[in-house]
Structure 1
Amino acid sequence: MSLLTENTKILKFLELVGRLKHEKRTGWVLCDIAECESIAGHMYRMGLMTFLLTEETNTTKLDRFKCLQIALVHDLAECIVGDLTPHCGVSPEEKHRREDEAMKIITELTGLAGNTMYELYKDYENQSSPEAKFAKDLDRYDMILQAFEYEKRENAPRKLQEFFTATEGKFGHPFIQGLVKELYKQRDEFEKTHLLNGNA
């Protein structure tokens, strides 16, 4: 393949990925959240959270770089298929099929780099490594953290309870479990303050 052809494909890949900067997360759109986050924003904070895996917090000796890579590719298919949620009327099997097909299109544009991205995506989908399981924890945690941020912004305690209910008891890594505990504590305090101020 000529360098020109290769660069043409890479540019197409980057244009596809660029869509994620503007594509809103479906869950928030369905909940009528104004100015809600993009898919890329979600992946960005997940990526930054991998830097919090220090000698002290990384008790299970995860490969931090692999966790970062998975965080950055786990929703890549959504630049083609969109953010499909259980409320979209698409079965889990069909969602998986569409996303897998999209990932093959995306990764074909980037040669050997694409092979790596596809492997990381499959690892996440199949939850076949400790790093993939940790990335799933990050995915869920970022979602409930974002939900709490919207509840605070709108001064509406428990408005987005469904996201907390959907993830309850599903966090596996000790470090993330600690963050979940702190988030729940702050959310309870926010609700109490709201009630004390006569906003019941």
Structure 2
Amino acid sequence: MDAASQAGPGEPVVALPSVADSRLARQLAFILEIDKLKSVLRRSHLADGSRAENDAEHSWHLAMMAVLLGEYAEEEVDTGRVLRMLLVHDLVEIYAGDTFVYDTTAIAEQEARERAAADRLFPQLPRDQAVQLRSLWEEFEARRTPDARFARALDRLQPLILNYATGGGSWLAHGVRAEDVLAHQRVVSEGSQALWEYITHLVGDAVRRGYLAA
């Protein structure tokens, strides 16, 4: 039986060759493990409406937004740290899955699920890198620093843009109302007042166009 036929669901088709350096071995194994992020689907669709985006695409999109929109951060931020935070922030969803922000039941359980996932995921790395990435994830969740507040602002803005671009997208599919969107998006004002003002304009226009229920 060949390697491809032995591979289980979600596992590499062919295992990497072994290496004597245990640190490198753990890093390479982690790199293969986080490839699973490409299979975690979100409620948002690509701007062309062709299919749902996945978490890896979402993280890449956010990283580009950090590069392009850094001038709108409410406070001075370290773009390099914001980028690292955005690349790490959804890794736990490999095990916890994506949580739809307007599903109140799932939201109530989200923190516990994602912390359990973080406990499982990050220790797969060498200890120094495990601590570093877990720290970035915790910082993003806590929103106590300018970098984290701006990163969170971008994380909220991106699906909003996609829902508008797809003529309502998951808003219409799930009966989401404008007041729900604005309540969820309000955290953006902590990271960027300029982006928050744009969001209020976009939501108002979405209501006028019938993309979002008033």
TM-score of the aligned structures, taking structure 2 as reference length: 0.70
SS in structure 1 opposite 2:150?
helix
Compared CA separation, residues 68 and 163, structure 1 to 2 (3 A)? farther
Q: Percent identity?
A: 20
Asked if the contact 1:144/1:164 (under 8 Å) is kept, the reply is: no
**Corresponding residue number in structure 2 for 1:8:** 25
Aligned mate of 2:72, from 49, 54, 57: 57
Is 1:183 aligned with 2:183? no
**Corresponding residue number in structure 2 for 1:109:** 124
Residue 17 of structure 1 and its aligned partner are, at CA, apart by 1.2
Asked if the contact 1:144/1:163 (under 8 Å) is kept, the reply is: no
Aligned mate of 1:167, from 157, 181, 199: 181
Q: State the AA in 2 paired with 1:35.
A: R
Aligned mate of 1:66, from 78, 81, 91: 81
**Corresponding residue number in structure 2 for 1:197:** none
Distance of 1:110 and 1:62 partners within structure 2: 27
1:1-200 aligned at under 5 Å gives the runs 4-25=21-42, 27-28=43-44, 35-54=51-70, 56-58=71-73, 60-85=75-100, 87=103, 89-90=105-106, 92=108, 94-111=109-126, 112-151=128-167, 159=172, 162=176, 164-168=178-182, 170=186, 171-172=188-189, 173-181=192-200, 183-184=202-203, 187=206, 191=209
How many residues align? The count is 182
Compared CA separation, residues 3 and 58, structure 1 to 2 (3 A)? farther
Compared CA separation, residues 115 and 164, structure 1 to 2 (3 A)? farther
Distance of 1:163 and 1:77 partners within structure 2: 28
SS in structure 2 opposite 1:98?
helix
Residue 16 of structure 1 and its aligned partner are, at CA, apart by 2.1
Deviations 1:117-137 (A, max 9, x none): 101111111222122121221
Residue 187 of structure 1 and its aligned partner are, at CA, apart by 3.6
Compared CA separation, residues 137 and 57, structure 1 to 2 (3 A)? closer
* Structure 2 gaps, min length 5: 1-18
Compared CA separation, residues 175 and 102, structure 1 to 2 (3 A)? same
Residue 7 of structure 1 and its aligned partner are, at CA, apart by 2.7
SS in structure 1 opposite 2:75?
coil
Asked if the contact 2:178/2:207 (under 8 Å) is kept, the reply is: no
Asked if the contact 2:44/2:162 (under 8 Å) is kept, the reply is: no
